[in-house]
């Protein structure tokens, strides 16, 4: 996800890679969106560019601190697969800074190593199960 300033608003651009052509999807799917800041949350509404058949709403926790690193939240939308199911996932986004080489970042993307200890927080935060202590599907911070 790349956020940038439009004329009077904050915009987003997301590029998803499916190198194994998972779920019969194209290798690359692009989304364009609008970003709002509401009550210390980032709210992103984005639409898939090519067919317009996939719409997503993502809400992320902001930070009370001057530095933001990981932002957990929820993403609700219409899946791009042919069934176009309505789905909701827990997500964690990482703030990479203002001066980012997009090509380098995109090359470094991919799936996290399942058992790597440095991924423990992210793995727990994006797990889409219910714990006994949870009564609703909420972000895990």
Assess if residue 140 is contained within a domain: no
Assess if residue 135 is contained within a domain: no
**pLDDT for position 44:** 95
Least confident of 7-11, 24-28, 46-50, 132-136: 24-28
CA distance 38 to 126: 22
Local confidence band at 66 (pLDDT 50, 70, 90 cut-offs): low
Assess if residue 136 is contained within a domain: no
Assess if residue 65 is contained within a domain: yes
**pLDDT for position 140:** 85
Contacts of 141 (CB under 8 A, 6+ apart): 61, 72, 125
Assess if residue 137 is contained within a domain: no
Return the bridge partners of 32, or none.
Answer: 13, 47
The alpha carbon dihedral of 77, 18, 20, 137 has a sign of negative
Q: Greater confidence, 21 or 96?
A: 96
Full domain range(s) for residue 6: 2-126
Assess if residue 138 is contained within a domain: no
**Element holding 57 (H helix, E strand):** strand 55-61
CA distance 72 to 139: 6
Give yes or no for residue 71 having a pLDDT over 80.
yes
Q: Greater confidence, 80 or 49?
A: 49
User: What is the number of structural domains in the chain?
Assistant: 1
Assess if residue 139 is contained within a domain: no
Assess if residue 7 is contained within a domain: yes
Q: What percentage of the chain carries pLDDT values higher than 70?
A: 89
Q: Greater confidence, 61 or 18?
A: 61
Give yes or no for residue 118 having a pLDDT over 80.
no
């Amino acid at each position: 996800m790349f956020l940038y300033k439009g004329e009077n608003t904050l915009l987003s651009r997301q590029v998803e890679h499916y190198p194994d052509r998972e779920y019969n999807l194209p290798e690359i799917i692009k989304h364009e969106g609008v970003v709002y800041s509401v009550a210390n949350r980032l709210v992103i509404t984005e639409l898939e560019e090519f067919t317009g058949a996939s719409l997503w709403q993502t809400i992320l926790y902001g930070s009370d601190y001057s530095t933001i690193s990981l932002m957990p939240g929820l993403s609700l939308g219409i899946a791009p697969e042919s069934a176009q199911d309505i789905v909701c996932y827990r997500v964690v986004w990482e703030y990479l800074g203002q001066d980012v080489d997009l090509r380098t970042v995109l090359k470094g993307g991919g799936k996290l190593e399942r058992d790597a200890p440095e991924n423990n927080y992210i793995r727990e935060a994006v797990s889409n199960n219910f714990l006994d202590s949870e009564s609703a599907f909420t972000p895990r911070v």
